[in-house]
Amino acid sequence: MLVKAYAAALQGISATIITIEVNCTKGIQFFLVGLPDVAVRESHERIISALQVCGLTFPRNRIVINMAPADIRKEGSAYDLPLAIAILAAAEQVDSDRLSRYMMMGELSLDGSLQPIKGALPIAIKAREAGFEGLILPKQNAYEAAVVNNLKVYGVAELKEVIEFIDGKRELEPTVVDTRKEFYAKQQNYDCDFSDVKGQENVKRAFEVAAAGGHNIILIGPPGSGKSMMAKRLPSILPPFTLQESLETTKIHSVAGKIQGGVSLMTQRPFRAPHHTISNVAMVGGGGVNPIPGEISLAHNGVLFLDELPEFNRGVLEVMRQPLEDRKIQISRARFTVEYPAGFMLVASMNPCPCGYYNHPERTCLCTPGMVQKYMSRISGPLLDRIDIQIEIVPVPFEKISDLQPSESSEQIRERVIKARLIQEKRFAHENGVYCNAQMSSRLLREFAIPDAAGLNLLKNAMRRLNLSARAYDRILKVARTIADLENSSSIEAHHLAEAILYRSLDRENWGQ
């Protein structure tokens, strides 16, 4: 008997329908075709054991299984469940009438229980698009997939439940999630707050400007000055997720297997902090036949924090140059190209020199000028040019640390950031793919970031004195536009540009001399 069951394969952050065709005839051979990898071929042994535990026997017939389309590589163990059900249906051990109404995914344990899979959310989206009535998958993934409306999502714990459901002997309760209620209830739950930070008012101001305009920022300062502490608090002052941003970010993390059980949608912007020993592939994504998202994609709509920036491999840093400009990354294979979104805010920190105390107000730097220059040269000029805000940070004096007065909270800062972002949303309402000042092109700069006469003269002198590049010129205008937005000013004035120029610490003539 020939039957068909339906599953899905992940490609990028989308899914493709896989039709599992099983033909059961007289004989004793078993064939599995359609470009299955080792994990898919090994399903044979897992299915045999799971069926025995359920009181069923693996058919002693000639079984031919085709996974179509046959030119797409099938990877992983998530096909165990649809393969098992299709084999039983072809052998007429279960009813095949309901198979066409449901998509199924799940890894089988030897005892018949189901293990969680990756990519439940994009699979659920594809199931709805294809018109399936429901999706059957492990219980651990049900909450994640149930955010897709107009689709019945059944979370099951073991193979026996699915067999009885397909046979009509058991009713399964679909998982229901009030997406909007869940989303808005958990949006403001942050563990870190800027009220914990004592002093460092100029650095907090730089973070506020960065958050308001979506600008990349680098912190330069000695050990123990609070660089990592403040970077971890940046997500708490960023504008809350929109539902669309949350869905897009959740899809990426779902494909990478980063969504924990019981979580439907991500409600807080991601904060990724990879170690400096990270490889190129782990940073940009890839690996295997079907690439998976890297750190720059996992940080999409959030923050990518690179601590001790000069310690990263030069190649790892250079591969970020294109995603920083284009806000996406393409991973090419012989047969196809996968595109992952990579619209992240880059936050980097570094010591000013190998010993860490160059320009320290109290401690003496032990490095020679040549050593400082060599240390700084580990970061290329083109990469630094793509970082809008470069701010020096010095240790907090004892008087500030011991001050019991509470600092300004993240909520207060976030209110100003949201107001500035609303101004930018209106400004770029008719610009496709532009949502904040950091994304402005040269054309938009000429339209929305024109300084007044005094500001233009100030900027001209700064360009000559600091020998700034054309890209740095654009960065200064973008940051000045954001500072003006924070003040609700329609024009860019001289003091806005003066503050923006101050955020180019590494461009100073005497740096490292």
Using CA atoms, how far apart are residues 250 and 263, in angstroms rounded to an integer?
10
Beta bridge partners of 18: 7
Distance CA 80, CA 47 (A): 7
pLDDT of res. 199: 79
Alpha-carbon separation of residue 317 from 187, 314, 506 (angstroms): 32, 5, 18
Give the Cα separation of 268 and 410 in Å (integer).
Answer: 14
Cα gap 98→79, rounded to integer Å: 18
In order of 91, 121, 131, 203, 266, the CA distances from 187 in angstroms are 50, 20, 32, 25, 9
**327 φψ region: left (φ > 0), alpha (ψ -120 to 50), beta (else):** left
Q: What's the pLDDT at 400?
A: 66
Three-state SS at 465? helix
Question: H or E element: which one contains 285?
Answer: strand 285-286
Q: Does residue 476 sit in helix, strand or coil?
A: helix
Its pTM stands at 0.89
Residue 99, pLDDT score: 94
Residue-level pLDDT, tens digit, the chain, 513 residues? 899 999 999 988 899 999 999 999 988 889 999 999 999 999 999 999 999 998 998 998 999 999 999 888 899 999 999 999 999 999 999 999 999 999 999 999 999 999 999 999 999 999 999 999 999 999 999 999 999 989 999 999 999 999 999 999 999 999 998 877 777 776 666 778 888 888 788 899 999 999 999 999 999 988 888 888 899 999 999 999 888 899 999 999 999 988 877 777 888 899 999 999 999 999 998 876 678 899 999 999 999 999 999 999 999 999 998 898 888 998 877 677 888 999 999 999 999 888 888 878 788 888 887 888 888 888 888 888 889 999 988 887 766 666 667 788 899 999 999 999 999 999 999 888 888 999 998 899 889 988 888 888 998 888 888 777 777 788 899 999 999 999 999 889 999 999 999 898 776 555 555
pLDDT of residue 377: 84
CA distance linking residue 385 with residue 392, whole number of Å = 16
The H or E element that residue 439 is part of is none
User: Which tokens in the block code for residue 312?
Assistant: 């990263």
Identity at 282, one-letter amino acid code: A
244 burial level (CB within 10 Å; 0-12, 13-18, 19+): exposed
Structure confidence at residue 359 (pLDDT): 78
From CA 503, how far away is CA 205, in angstroms rounded?
Answer: 11
AA identity, residue 256: A
Q: Identify the pLDDT of residue 512.
A: 52
